[in-house]
Chains A and B, each alone.
Chain A
Amino acid sequence: MGLLDRLSGLLGLRKKEVHVLCLGLDNSGKTTIINKLKPSNAQSQDIVPTIGFSVEKFKSSSLSFTVFDMSGQGRYRNLWEHYYKDGQAIIFVIDSSDKLRMVVAKEELDTLLNHPDIKHRRIPILFFANKMDLRDAVTSVKVSQLLCLENIKDKPWHICASDAIKGEGLQEGVDWLQDQIQSAKT
């Protein structure tokens, strides 16, 4: 990094870049959440199932996020691990109305937490209990119980209920993530 870059970084003119992985089962709303976080002129109108992954960028008040929005379909999940190494934070999205597949989500989460690239790092994980507007959605507390989140001892985590279509609850989560990343740096 050049001198100018460092100066501008110090002065807070230039936002620091962080890599975030966005994971979760298919149809949980990952792409919709990321889309909603982007500035309104860059948002796309229709969301289709992601195949593979796509790279998106958005900014919060003090950070510039580069998100690897991974596909959640069963056959692509084993490709997530290629990107674990350079993720500085993880956003894990859960469809809180899909009780049936909650166990699948738990299984995927456990595999993720036990992966050698993740296991020994103090990497912040943000959970979105998405689709809270649906009638049969369970509460975020219930979700955290179902996923046994209390067992995560060595990583900071946070769960918040969200409705990606309206954008509710997203900002709260991102703010938490931003705090975590900045506190980890200092």
Chain B
Amino acid sequence: MEDLALAVTALRKRFLAPAVDGLDLTVRAGELYALLGPNGAGKTTTLRMVAGLAAPDSGSIRVFGRDVLADPIGAKRLIAWLPDEPLLYDKLSPEEYLAFVAGLWAVPAEIAAARAETLIADLGLEAQRRVRCETLSRGQKQKVALAGALIHDPRLLILDEPLTGLDAAAARQVKDLLLARVAAGGTVILTTHILEVAERLASRIGIIRAGRLIAEGTLDELRAGGDASLETLFLALASAA
């Protein structure tokens, strides 16, 4: 089971209508998995349930073999969740925010400080490290939130639209960081509407529609021998009845 970073089985969640409808999904350890789907397909709801932020109506979720529902605290220690909207504390500086998040995950202070230094440097946040987050731009906030997600060295990193609001240079920094993370053995699951990102970064791609997985595989597997772009494939799959 340890080679599976995530195993989702028969997952269901209903709000007014079914948001996730019997979803089965597996993500192997050490891969970058892109979950794609049209708006309202159930991507964010699925990932929120994986991160322990929402309770499923039924089904099971295992993260590195741990049952998220039976042992949420144990599972959360392994996960980092980055929502699409970077919600930070206005009155804390990035440096303080990282120290706070590290404290929540009980990372020893010296280790946290060293990791914070690296992340701040990697994400180009040196100039902003001691200013209050309320003064940062959307892209800078996004980078601080990403650093917060990485400060406790999660085994599974879940990102919802991580490149929203970033300029080209910042997006490149984030992409490099994610690839480095995967190269170092980490597992990343992300949702994105930028299909080029999925095409270039993802080891495997899952396409979800109406709460169900309708296609999954590497880009080549999805093409099934053809040479269609991911955009063409996605639009065909997402709009199919």
Q: Do A and B bind each other?
A: no
* Chain A residues in the interface with B (C-beta under 8 A): none
